[in-house]
């Protein structure tokens, strides 16, 4: 591993902990540098994992990671010998089923490895351990090729030694149990490399008392009821009411590199691919796909503070982003509640995919005092609508919300006359974006009194010059007007620079400094 390359980029890909209260696992990876260069690796003083950020080689340097410098995608590489407890689950392993693992007795520094098999594991459980950065709890799927172990909620069996509430709401739950009885907040828990599916009405399970129950309409494949420093990484999350749900007692949550799709309840707007309300949350290099057929929910719905949404591919929800108010004072009073950063994403609005607004920011409840205010920073995104009718980029709920929209490609294939920037409210500044000719301020009769949309200088054209629009290759062609016309990033986003770009799917790669002059989520 090239330590100097990790050190050089460490403050960039993960270096925002001071701003949004989410200490990232790369900090742990840094502490492991000594072990990587000959340290002892004992679990008492050495982290059990390294983050491989791709550390691209330079010149004649040896590429010890074997990645040949072609990817910057963080990989959580766990060292089993550094854990105090290791449980192996699968064919020929110590435990045949996840339900055989003593979840009620888990301790910090525990690795649970679940190996792929051809049939799903029908099991559900709770994790309630106050672990640490140096001694985390990790539930790790061991794939076979590209096939992850399947954890199915359909006819799942709960370990009877457990005792926890809200069983109808999850397959894997974090926090909230009588057994294990943890007086502290569960923390430093990783769910990685699993295919978690089938938690919604119509599916049944056996609870911890041996009774048969049906999942509720607000069930989730993963339910984070309580916990801090929780990471969900490299999972498939689908066929649930809500794919992923986090409650207000959660903090410092990271959702990274997952494929979240095919969730929801038919004819209902209240269940979503993910639904979160945390004190500090990051979504990065995830692939969000369409909900289940006939389901009317949003793709990513969030009520958190410190929300960062970067380098994701999000398509075909009712809205792609629905960022609304919390119901809880401790989240609303967090200074990070009034700043949201959305950058480096691909947002796709297909024809006929529910609401014509791509994004909503502010609130959707009756108490406007709790609505998000402050500033939405929306930059270096590529936004594509293939609707045959009208598309609106964003709905801002109140006049005291400001959206700073810069260095984005915002394209509607139906033509600029079908694209509006806002639904009429709030303050919007547009600068250094690529926009289609004849774009509209709003599709309403006029902006609301006191609302503004300021055109501070943008590039306009008929098409943005994608490399292959029909194949969804949104890199820029040599003749694109989006090349070389991006503005400099303002100092307000200095801690959130654009250094990576999305790779289909669930990966990222380094974006060159030279390409930052290009508008959109991809450099030339």
Per the domain annotation, does 501 fall within a domain? Answer: no
pLDDT in tens, 116-131: 999 999 999 999 999 9
The pTM (predicted TM-score) of the whole model is 0.89
Retrieve residue 509's tokens: 């790669």
Q: Above 90 in pLDDT, residue 15?
A: no
pLDDT per residue over 203-224, tens digit each? 999 999 999 999 999 999 999 9
Give mean pLDDT, residues 459-484. 96
Q: How many domains does the chain have?
A: 1
- 139 HSE (CA, 13 A, CB side): 28
- Residue 119 burial by Cβ neighbours in a 10 Å radius (0-12, 13-18, 19+): exposed
What is the rounded distance in angstroms from the CA atom of residue 177 to the CA atom of residue 161?
12
Tens digits of residue pLDDT in 333-376: 999 999 999 999 999 999 988 899 999 999 999 899 999 999 99
Instruction: Tell whether the model's pLDDT for residue 417 goes beyond 90.
Output: yes
**Is 163 a domain residue?**
no
Find tokens 């004190």 and name the residue. Answer: 279
More confident residue, 187 or 16: 187
In angstroms, the Cα distances linking 138 to 163, 254, 278 are 21, 14, 21
Assigned domain for 459 exists: no
Q: Is residue 55 part of a domain?
A: yes
From the CB of residue 130, how many other CB atoms can be counted at a distance below 10 Å? 17
Whether 269 maps to a domain, the answer reads: no
Query: Region 244-257: what's the mean pLDDT?
Result: 98
* Tokens of residue 243, six digits: 């794919």
User: Measuring CA to CA, which residue among 9, 24, 29, 19 is closest to residue 511?
Assistant: 9
Tokens found for residue 65: 């990671």
Within-domain flag for 53:
yes
* pLDDT of 40 strictly over 60: no
Domain residues for the domain of 16 are 3-74
The pLDDT tens digits of the residues spanning 96-105 come to 999 999 999 9
Residue 59 pLDDT greater than 90, yes or no: no
Does pLDDT of 43 surpass 60? no
Phi, psi of 507 (to 5 degrees): -140, 170
pLDDT confidence band for 60 (50 / 70 / 90): very low
Percent helix, percent strand, percent coil in the chain, to nearest 5: 10, 40, 45
Residue 449 lies in a domain: no
Give the pLDDT band (50/70/90) at residue 68: very low
Looking at residue 45, its pLDDT comes to: 53
In a domain, 9, yes or no: yes
Q: Which residue has the tokens 């040896």?
A: 62
Contacts of 82 (CB under 8 A, 6+ apart): 41, 42, 43, 46, 47, 48, 49, 109
């Amino acid at each position: 591993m090239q330590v100097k390359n990790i050190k050089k980029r460490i403050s960039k890909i993960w270096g925002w902990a001071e701003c949004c209260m989410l200490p990232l696992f790369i900090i742990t990876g840094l502490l492991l540098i000594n072990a990587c260069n000959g340290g002892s690796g004992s679990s008492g003083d050495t982290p059990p994992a390294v983050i491989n950020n791709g550390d691209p080689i330079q010149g004649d340097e040896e590429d010890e990671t074997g990645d040949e410098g072609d990817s910057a995608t963080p990989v959580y590489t766990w060292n089993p010998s550094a854990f105090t407890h290791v449980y192996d689950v699968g064919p020929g392993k110590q435990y045949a089923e996840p339900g055989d693992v003593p979840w009620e007795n888990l301790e910090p520094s525990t690795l649970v490895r679940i190996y792929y098999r051809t049939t799903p594991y029908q099991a559900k459980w709770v994790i309630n351990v106050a672990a640490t950065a140096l001694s985390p709890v990790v539930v790790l799927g061991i794939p076979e090729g590209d096939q992850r172990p399947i954890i199915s909620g359909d006819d799942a069996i709960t370990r009877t030694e457990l005792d926890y509430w809200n069983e109808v709401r999850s397959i894997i739950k974090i926090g909230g149990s009588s057994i294990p009885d943890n007086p502290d907040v569960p923390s430093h828990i990783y769910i990685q490399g699993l295919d978690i599916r089938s938690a919604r009405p119509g599916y049944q399970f056996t609870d911890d008392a041996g009774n048969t129950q049906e999942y509720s309409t607000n069930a989730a494949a993963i339910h984070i009821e309580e916990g801090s420093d929780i990471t969900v990484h490299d999972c498939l999350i689908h066929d649930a009411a809500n794919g992923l749900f986090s409650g207000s007692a959660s903090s410092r949550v990271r959702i990274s590199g997952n494929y979240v799709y095919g969730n929801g309840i038919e004819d209902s707007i209240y269940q979503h691919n993910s639904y979160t309300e945390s004190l500090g949350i990051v979504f990065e290099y995830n692939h969000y796909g369409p909900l289940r057929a006939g389901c009317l929910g949003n793709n990513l719905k969030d009520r958190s503070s410190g929300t960062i949404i970067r380098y994701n591919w999000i398509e075909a929800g009712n809205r792609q982003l629905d960022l609304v108010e919390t119901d809880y004072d401790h989240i609303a009073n967090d200074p990070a509640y009034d700043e949201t950063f959305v950058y480096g994403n691909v947002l796709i609005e297909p024809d006929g995919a529910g609401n014509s607004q791509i994004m909503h920011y502010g609130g959707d409840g009756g108490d406007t005092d709790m609505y998000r205010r402050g500033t939405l920073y929306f930059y270096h995104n590529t936004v594509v609508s293939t609707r045959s009718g009208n598309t609106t980029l964003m709905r801002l709920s109140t006049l005291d919300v400001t959206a700073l929209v810069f260095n984005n490609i915002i394209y509607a294939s139906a033509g600029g006359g079908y694209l509006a920037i806002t639904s009429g409210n709030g303050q919007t500044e547009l600068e250094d974006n690529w926009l289609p000719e004849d774009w509209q301020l709003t599709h309403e009769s006029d902006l609301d009194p006191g609302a503004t949309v300021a055109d501070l200088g943008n590039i306009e054209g008929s098409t943005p010059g994608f490399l292959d629009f029909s194949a969804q290759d949104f890199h820029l062609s040599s003749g694109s007007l989006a090349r070389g016309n991006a503005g400099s990033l303002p100092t307000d986003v200095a801690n959130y620079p654009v250094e990576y770009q999305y790779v289909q799917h669930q990966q990222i790669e380094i974006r060159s400094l030279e390409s930052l002059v290009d508008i959109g989520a991809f450099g030339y």
